[in-house]
Structure 1
Amino acid sequence: MSLLDQQSVFSAMLQAGPFAVGDTPPLAHPFSRETKAWVQHIHGNQLLKTKYRSVRNQIFDLLGIATYDEVLALIHDKELRTKAAERAYLLLGNMFGIEGTGQEVIRHLHEYARTADDVISSLRAKVLAPYSAHIETTNEIVTTWDPVELLLALFDDRYHKKARFEAKRKLALMGLAGSIDQRERETKIGEKFLTFLNFLNAFVWSPDCKIGELDIRYLYSTHNRENFSCSAVKVLSEEEARLIIPAVGEKLTLVKRRRFRDNGADIPIYVTIRKKEPSAKVLKLLRKNEKNPATAVDDELGLMAVLNSVNDVKRFVRHLTRSAARAESFMTLEDISDTLTGGEYRGTATGSSGKTSMLKFFARTGGMRIEFILHTNRSYLNYIYQRDVAHDEYEVKRIFDTGVIEFLFPPDIYHLDLQKIRDHQLAWFRRRIEEN
């Protein structure tokens, strides 16, 4: 099911539907021409009528009102608005399982608002960087964190259509951020992240290495003209790399490597460890058209590693399971996908390429489930640079092709040609990748 489909779990957010933000707030007289046209639009569609009743009841319950007529009183009466906000904090705090005082609930709401803003900021900073000014959020919405204030802005004629849409969008993103925060508290993901790091330092990396000790190396690679895949790669020291000026079709890539010990030999490994940020989790929920983090976000803890050869990859996997046993925990590998030695990657994510080479699995150990992505030097360079495989290109494809960009920045609000922007950004990232 598409994110932009009327069957979507986010259908109340869509501009191409009965819940669209219009030029004027949705407070027309019940017998007005606008209201009659709206009723005609949903007539005969039981799902839309049910969704409308659900949305209406949520609005009334959060604001503590029984009719839309009471909305105007809240907009213009500060004392009523303050009482409605205090009541809303209690309701939201209990819904998200936030323990503590009203101030603790307010602190969490601030965090949810910050996460909602970070979702937009992250897109402005990278995938849509050249269009940052076009999609900048209205100042009054950026500075607002109170759900009641945001909800009332939807019905306030003093706000422009764009600002009212952004208030609605921020509410939706804050709701997802709240669900993610609740899930993190329930699963204690922060504690598990620290446990994972301690496991690596105590049992996986070489005992001769200090915590955080890294060897600086460079991958000097040559790339095919046809698809910019890696045809040859050599590992250089810092001193050797200083003497290299990459020509066209060549790359010099920094890797800061740790070491692990297997059968008495220290094997170099470049590692990047990831704990997915709340804003990234929100975007993943949107891409998956899901509101439940428990079903859609399965890669909260992750590690990507780069080794010299396929043989070193195999040795590292065996070293991992042995290390877990030494830490007094069994380790099982789940959902294994191996395309390092041939075959086609069968990823289910929109925008992913079948040409991607890697060993991917989830390791269950110590009460955690950790995603591992293992590369050789060559497959890692393809992951960064190869046409139709490079991660920067993949990011553009998945955020556009899943409908997330149109969902967050509908053309009737932002007046952007999204297909043209998608093609432009893919070409822009490709130029940046291939130019030295």
Structure 2
Amino acid sequence: MSVLSPNSVFTSLQQEGPFAVTRVALTTGRFSSQTRLWVKRLQQDPNNRTKYRALRSQLFEFLGVENMEQIKSLVSDSTLREQRSQRALRLLGNMFGIDGNLNEIKSRVDEYARTADAVIHSLNSKILSPYTSYIESTNEIVVTNNPVELLLIMFNDAYHKKARFEARRKVILMTLAGTIDQRERETDVENKFSAFLAFLNGYVWSPNLKIGELDPVFLHSQHNLEDYFCTEVNVLTPQETISVTPVPGEKLTLLKRRSFTVGNKKIPIYVSIRKKPPEAKVLKLLRKNEKNPGVAVDDELGLMAVLDSFSDVKAFQQHLTRSASKANSLMVLEDISDTLFEHVQYRSRAIGSSDKTSMMKFFARLGGMRVEFIIHTNQTWLNYMYQEDVAHNEYEVKRMFDTGVIELLFPMDIFHLDHQKTRNEMIQLFRKQMRS
């Protein structure tokens, strides 16, 4: 289901619908022409009526009011706002299972606000970087972390329509950040990530390596000029690259590799290990049209590896299983897909992904953890970096636009962003950067 569909779980953020932020705040009186028009639109869908009643009940309870008139009074009374803010923090602390006093709860809620801002910043700094002037947030919203203050801005006609929308957006993103934080505490992600690193350093990598020791090499690759598919790749030492000057259709790509030992053979491997940051998890919830991180975010811990050949890939997979046994844990591989061979077509259900993608992907369950592994050969990784339709930067653009997340967060009538045009321009920009 699209995040923009009428039955989306994010209906309250949709600008095309009954909950749209209008030019004038909805506190103009129950019999005003604007209010009557809004009620008429709301009555068109019974599901929206039910959602509205639930949202109104939650909003009134959170603010400690019984009607819209009391919200207007709350906007003008700073002492009352402070009292309601402290009450709201206690409510949030109990809802998200935050232990501690009021200051500790406030600190955690401030983290949620920073995550909400980071969601917008992450898009602003990468896939929408040329459009910063279109989508940059209003200063007053960025510096406001108090959820009561943000909710009151939504009903304060002294604020522009854009600021009122951004206040609503920030509250919703903060709520998602709160559910993610709660999930991370329940599943003990921080300790599991540390345990995973300890497992790799203690049992997987070559024992004669120091922790963090890396060997730099360069991949000298040849690419098809039509779509930049990698046709040939050789591994060079830094000294060997001194005499190499890439021409169009060639790339020199630095890799800093570790190694693992199988028998007497030392096998080099490039590894990228990550714990998905909160803002990335929020974006995934939006893309999946889901508010429950336990359902949507199944790749909190991940490892991407690049090896010289398919035989090295198989050796690494076997080495992982043996290493887990040495660490006194069975390792079970789940949801395996393997398209490293060219004739095997990748079939992903993810919006924006390409059938041309080649990789081995699986989840490994070991030591109380479930870790996502993505394995590449040098050639498939270079395609993942540079090939048209396959490259990860291009995939990020497609999935954010094609799932409707960009339109949801930056609606046209507020941010004046032509979404289809912007999508195509960003794809072309990334393709140009990848070829340079």
TM-score with structure 2 setting the length: 0.99
In the TM superposition, residue 331 of structure 1 has moved relative to its aligned partner by 0.2
- For 2:258, give the aligned amino acid: R
Where does 1:337-376 land on structure 2 (aligned, <5 Å)? 337-341=337-341, 342-376=343-377
In the TM superposition, residue 245 of structure 1 has moved relative to its aligned partner by 1.0
In the TM superposition, residue 375 of structure 1 has moved relative to its aligned partner by 0.4
Partners of 1:352 and 1:429 in 2: CA distance? 16
Partners of 2:358 and 2:44 in 1: CA distance? 50
Matched, 1:198 2:198: yes
Partners of 1:202 and 1:159 in 2: CA distance? 56
Partners of 1:312 and 1:407 in 2: CA distance? 44
Partners of 1:215 and 1:157 in 2: CA distance? 60
- For 1:46, give the aligned amino acid: P
**1:35 is matched with which residue?**
35
Matched, 1:101 2:134: no
Matched, 1:240 2:255: no
Alignment RMSD (CA, Å): 0.7
Partners of 2:227 and 2:21 in 1: CA distance? 44
- For 1:416, give the aligned amino acid: L
- For 1:432, give the aligned amino acid: Q
**1:54 is matched with which residue?**
54
In the TM superposition, residue 260 of structure 1 has moved relative to its aligned partner by 0.2
Partners of 2:213 and 2:136 in 1: CA distance? 41
Where does 1:225-264 land on structure 2 (aligned, <5 Å)? 225-264=225-264
In the TM superposition, residue 227 of structure 1 has moved relative to its aligned partner by 1.7
- For 1:153, give the aligned amino acid: I
**1:266 is matched with which residue?**
266
**1:76 is matched with which residue?**
76
Partners of 1:113 and 1:69 in 2: CA distance? 27
SS in 2 for 1:357: coil
**2:416 is matched with which residue?**
415
Seq. identity, %: 58
Partners of 1:340 and 1:396 in 2: CA distance? 24
Runs of 4+ in 1 over 3 A off after TM superposition: none
User: Deviations along 1:56-115, whole A, 9 cap, x unmatched?
Assistant: 111101100111110111111111101100100000000000001011110111100000
**1:6 is matched with which residue?**
6
In the TM superposition, residue 44 of structure 1 has moved relative to its aligned partner by 4.7
In the TM superposition, residue 242 of structure 1 has moved relative to its aligned partner by 2.2
User: Deviations along 1:288-328, whole A, 9 cap, x unmatched?
Assistant: 00000000000000000000000000000000000000000
User: Deviations along 1:116-171, whole A, 9 cap, x unmatched?
Assistant: 00001011111000001210000000000000000000011111000000000000
Partners of 2:207 and 2:38 in 1: CA distance? 69
In the TM superposition, residue 45 of structure 1 has moved relative to its aligned partner by 2.2
Partners of 1:299 and 1:177 in 2: CA distance? 16
Partners of 2:397 and 2:423 within 8 A in 1: yes
User: Deviations along 1:327-371, whole A, 9 cap, x unmatched?
Assistant: 000000000000001311111110000110010000000000000
Partners of 2:27 and 2:72 within 8 A in 1: no
**1:67 is matched with which residue?**
67
- For 1:352, give the aligned amino acid: S
- For 1:428, give the aligned amino acid: L
Partners of 2:185 and 2:19 in 1: CA distance? 33
Partners of 1:229 and 1:88 in 2: CA distance? 55
Q: How many residues align?
A: 435
Partners of 2:271 and 2:304 within 8 A in 1: yes
The gaps in structure 1 that reach 5 residues or longer are none
Matched, 1:85 2:105: no
Matched, 1:219 2:219: yes
Partners of 2:202 and 2:41 in 1: CA distance? 63
SS in 1 for 2:291: coil
**1:405 is matched with which residue?**
406
In the TM superposition, residue 434 of structure 1 has moved relative to its aligned partner by 0.7
Partners of 2:221 and 2:250 within 8 A in 1: yes
SS in 1 for 2:233: strand
**1:290 is matched with which residue?**
290
Partners of 2:187 and 2:287 in 1: CA distance? 22
SS in 1 for 2:134: coil
Partners of 1:129 and 1:242 in 2: CA distance? 34
**1:178 is matched with which residue?**
178
Partners of 2:115 and 2:279 within 8 A in 1: yes
The gaps in structure 2 that reach 5 residues or longer are none
TM-score with structure 1 setting the length: 0.99
